Amino acid sequence: MTAPVVAAVVPAAGLGQRLGADGPKAMHLLGGEPMLVHSVRTLAAGPVDLVVVATPPGLGAEVLAQLAGAHPGAELSVVDGGATRSDSVRLALAALPPSVRVVLVHDAARPLVPAALVAAVVAAVEGGADAVVPGLPVTDTVKQVDGADVVVATVDRSALRAVQTPQGFRREVLDTAYAGPESGTATDDAGHVERAGGVVVVVPGAEEAFKVTRPLDLVLAEAVLAGRRQAGG
């Protein structure tokens, strides 16, 4: 097997408290399979050579067993995740072999990401971008409030994008961004790159790449998956 060039890091170590799940969110079932299995299967079916999953500490062997058969086109490894999403990503980045040049970071909790979006993000990085995020226009009106929940401004939503994963990076760019001091404010990977002074570009996102966070998201995800299965996809 040739050395991997495109890798996907999958943070899957969250506990999913907002989902009300009684185990790790990534292992919550969707259409009878853990969300993580759906995510890894889509990544491995495309231009990704290696998938590294950050699992809840101690669950690596169980996760590897669950993922057997879900990654025919890609190598797979697991690392113990950390206390925060950033910690989990940092630990997975440290496990990438030197041959890797392009890194995707994809939330396990976005199980229905279309394969075409994964391919588009990789293509944008291979086309020369340092950092790429999929984004969609914001449809709600967004208010800025003070500490007492009094509105201080209505933000111009035409200049806002709600960003998703997979986010894609030149490997050096992401490594450098994660090597910097932890600010605690970056809630995505591109945020680390921005803080380090890097340029991040937005490509069109996909509605089906939504993150399963709350119970209602799970209802939507089951409906989307049922629709796909009915359509033979």
State in angstroms the smallest separation of the CB of 149 from ligand C5P: 23
**Angle at which helices 35-45 and 60-67 pack, to 10 degrees?**
60
Beta bridge partners of 80: 55
Compute the least distance from the CB of residue 199 to ligand C5P, in Å.
24
* Number of residues engaging ligand C5P in binding (CB under 6 A): 18
54 binds ligand C5P (CB under 6 A): yes
Rounded to the nearest 10 degrees, the angle between the axes of helix 85-93 and helix 171-179 is: 130
- CA separation for the pair 76, 79 (Å, rounded): 10
Span interacting with ligand C5P, options 40-48, 103-111, 149-157, 190-198, rule CB under 6 A: 103-111
- Is-contact 109 14, C-beta < 8 A? yes
Confirm or reject binding of residue 83 to ligand C5P (CB under 6 A): yes
Residue 103 Cα distances to 96, 106, 142, 151, 199, angstroms: 9, 10, 32, 39, 16
Residue 93 touches ligand C5P, criterion: CB under 6 A? no
Site for ligand C5P in 156-195 (CB under 6 A): none
Q: Binding ligand C5P by CB under 6 A: which of 9, 51, 96, 109?
A: 109
Q: Which residues contact 136 (CB under 8 A, 6 or more apart)?
A: 161, 162, 164, 204, 205, 206, 207
Q: Considering only residues 4-23, where is the footprint of ligand C5P by CB under 6 A?
A: 11-14
Nearer to ligand C5P, 13 or 74 (CB): 13
Told to check if 84 binds ligand C5P by CB under 6 A, we report yes
Please count the residues of the chain.
233
Q: Using the rule CB under 6 A, which residue among 34, 79, 104, 107 binds ligand C5P?
A: 107
* Of 88 and 225, CB closest to ligand C5P: 88
Helix (H) or strand (E) holding 168: strand 167-170
Using CB under 6 A, list all residues that contact ligand C5P: 11-14, 25-26, 54, 81-85, 88, 107-109, 211, 213
